Structure 1
């Protein structure tokens, strides 16, 4: 069995190495072609060297095709993984820092809120170029597997405007599934779930153990859990008020809704600083910065560590390799996928990207009909979908009016800022991110003029309610195992230490 798999943004060590391991644990895939591409030559070299060492140590005769030329890497690919971060950590920093001046305190800022909206503008602009390359040089009817955030916005744009069949993939459902099992004192495989909604706002609408329905007992289990009742206060409060547990972490969820981060003196009532994902201001930016610094500094030592083992025992939970295995071998795989709704969830818009259970085999990817989400859950999702739709249309058309409307409709931005502040915030962010926003050339010119000639609404020197400085290399060296784990994991919140 031979076909080609290409990785765009392969310099992302967290995703690339693990996804490659997962693929190559499948015995039928030991003769496939692998291609890596990235815009950062050094990152690409390091990840290629490390992954090639893994391949060689596992006795496979595969030579990674590594190239800065994206079209060369994509040529004749049947499957394409995108694991890109458009603008890198430089742009990500502005996603967090500029909104803070206006009182918008984000933990992650990569899905919704001010940071997620701007991340989408950068990502969609480049995704349209990626889709053009895929259409022109990949296999006909190839499949694009998108791991890049903001997941729903990018997947929406690729399907509607990019002309490329795209499935969005995320590990959020698996993480919450593990938590629910732990809350009941069970193993993950002992709990069966149905989870549906939109990416990062997916709801566990059914929880069962040996055919016993536990859905109505989830709240009690979390409130009685000694750790979760401290670290998941936002999720528990949402569970109490909406009736269902949500996939995303305390910190993620807190920035998608208007209630938990709008008053700075109340943020600590809802978060926990035992680990970043519980609500730390700019927490994901911090751990990504630490991870990249550590990888670049410590890379020579990574080559001295044992290679990854391509065995079924070591295979991860990311959906991507299982989807390809199902399509190519016919083995049935059940996962949760981000797809165009088309009636799967009947009370969410058909054009939205929803996340729901799906089955994969040789016949393709099949999404069972879910029906209506509970009304409250659907309402929360609808608010986010409105932001996503405005953001996608703004990015595709370079329409700064739609972009400003997306900011206004966003739940947390709207809870914190008034309209004139939002207009000025968008101007500042457009100017700061000019190099990654070619579609906004005229709007950026006008924004520069306004910022230099019109009265400036005073902002503040606000660094966030719960900010922690990134560790130095010397500080990370005190716990090398933790630093290496942070740098190498795609899911940087998989293991959450106690507070």
Structure 2
């Protein structure tokens, strides 16, 4: 049987999608063992009730267990799906409200920027603990992580643990391909895409049909668009994979300027609204469980973790975009980084597709992003507060808005506010 562990299973919307996919696959009936973990007892109980309901509705005959203690659940695991959120909504609130007092605007605050840096600093210790447990108990298992900031977390796992099989999963590439196909009025199957870069800042390098570029078809359709994605595309020549509210945080040209925020309609503090909607969705799902409402989801596409697991278990070949170690994949990005590329997934495993060199302007944008990522990982692994300051000072949007002394004061205040969620060495003063 295939053993799947979901840690952070209390993120029940994603748990529902993944298990609906796997339980609905007839070739996996009777062949799955699912172990659920969450640090919140209430959410863990909800996730377990959900899993058992989905198993009943699908007739999958899966073996399901749940526990608050994670290590023993990992014994014999083939796949570990990570979707946790260290600190939850309260930590997110601090990441947005404290910088706002310094005059710093953020939209989602989960990738780079000061919010992304501190989300990484909270999460890297937990990721390393999970990776260490896996290295002892299921060293050949795949860690499939949805947790942001993905580029930093995957880099930290590779640099700070013996675990080798780690892949990040993000919907942005798949969603962008669907968006572009829709914009030019074509079916996805008609279009030849090739996309690569870094999670939340990849670029569509090839957008063709019958050997002809579709970019000339796209240009008049978005000529009047005032949004960050279109601005970056027009200036850098390739369409970016991340939404405008995300993409605005990775560059210095938009959020620091009130006129640009208004012109582009950027949703400052959007993460708080999304967080509130997630809390509401959780309560709605609990109500659906209590009322006996059917919960097995029927989706047009498999969830990404489901695709990877299904392909590796059944041998069904797929191309999936994953964040993987840059071992000869993108020539002009740092070898230690983790990059987002297509990968062929089947019964033989995961085989990423080498991209070669990115266009120089795209590599330059990615390297700016990865400077922040590398220093954030350094800060967490070496527990060095000076590297926290340096990561945030090198962040494009933050450095465009604040001088160095204010950045250091902001970091000090966030370190004090997050307290025990951060690596202990960061809490002891300047170093």
Superposition TM-score tier, normalisation by shorter sequence: over 0.9
The match for 2:148 is 149
Q: Does 1:353 align with 2:352?
A: no
Give the Å deviation of 1:315: 5.4
SS at structure 2 position matched to 1:65: strand
- Structure 1 pair 406–106 and aligned structure 2 pair: CA distance change class (3 A): same
CA distance in 2, matches of 1:150, 1:335: 19
Q: Which residue, out of 242, 250, 259, partners 2:244?
A: 250
Q: Does 1:291 align with 2:286?
A: no
The match for 1:261 is 255
SS at structure 1 position matched to 2:345: strand
Give the Å deviation of 1:302: 4.3
- Structure 1 pair 153–293 and aligned structure 2 pair: CA distance change class (3 A): same
The match for 1:109 is 109
User: Equivalences for 1:25-36 in 2 at 5 Å?
Assistant: 25-30=24-29, 31-36=31-36
Cα deviations by residue, 1:88-129 (Å, 9 ceiling, x for unpaired) = 111111111111111221110000100000000011011111
CA distance in 1, matches of 2:43, 2:149: 22
CA distance in 2, matches of 1:223, 1:14: 36
CA distance in 2, matches of 1:222, 1:24: 41
Q: Larger deviation: 177-186 or 22-31?
A: 22-31
Q: Which residue, out of 198, 208, 228, partners 1:234?
A: 228
SS at structure 1 position matched to 2:204: strand
The match for 1:42 is 42
The match for 2:161 is 162
SS at structure 2 position matched to 1:334: strand
Q: RMSD across aligned C-alpha pairs, in angstroms?
A: 1.7
User: Equivalences for 1:49-448 in 2 at 5 Å?
Assistant: 49-138=49-138, 140-164=139-163, 165-223=165-223, 229=225, 233-271=227-265, 279-296=266-283, 299-304=286-291, 306-309=293-296, 314=299, 316-440=301-425, 443-446=426-429
CA distance in 2, matches of 1:375, 1:88: 38
Q: Larger deviation: 202-211 or 426-435?
A: 202-211
CA distance in 2, matches of 1:217, 1:33: 48
Contact 1:18 1:316 in 2 (8 A): no
Give the Å deviation of 1:134: 0.9
SS at structure 1 position matched to 2:291: coil
Q: Larger deviation: 18-27 or 373-382?
A: 18-27
Give the Å deviation of 1:416: 0.5
CA distance in 2, matches of 1:367, 1:291: 33
Cα deviations by residue, 1:22-72 (Å, 9 ceiling, x for unpaired) = 222332322210000000000111122122111111122224211101112
Runs of 4+ aligned residues of structure 1 deviating over 4 Å after TM superposition are: none
Contact 2:16 2:296 in 1 (8 A): no
Q: How many residues align?
A: 428
CA distance in 1, matches of 2:285, 2:296: 21
The match for 1:276 is none
- Structure 1 pair 402–435 and aligned structure 2 pair: CA distance change class (3 A): same
CA distance in 2, matches of 1:376, 1:59: 52
Give the Å deviation of 1:335: 1.4
CA distance in 2, matches of 1:329, 1:58: 19
CA distance in 1, matches of 2:254, 2:292: 43
Contact 1:5 1:77 in 2 (8 A): yes
Cα deviations by residue, 1:270-301 (Å, 9 ceiling, x for unpaired) = 22xxxxxxx31111221222321442366223
Q: Larger deviation: 374-383 or 295-304?
A: 295-304
CA distance in 1, matches of 2:44, 2:193: 38
- Structure 1: tracts of 5 or more residues without a match: 272-278, 448-499
Cα deviations by residue, 1:156-215 (Å, 9 ceiling, x for unpaired) = 111221221200110000111111112112233333311100000000011012433213
SS at structure 1 position matched to 2:4: strand
Contact 2:380 2:423 in 1 (8 A): no
- Structure 2: tracts of 5 or more residues without a match: none
- Structure 1 pair 315–179 and aligned structure 2 pair: CA distance change class (3 A): closer
Q: Larger deviation: 115-124 or 365-374?
A: 365-374
Q: Does 1:11 align with 2:13?
A: no
Contact 1:125 1:439 in 2 (8 A): no
Contact 2:53 2:295 in 1 (8 A): no
CA distance in 2, matches of 1:298, 1:34: 20
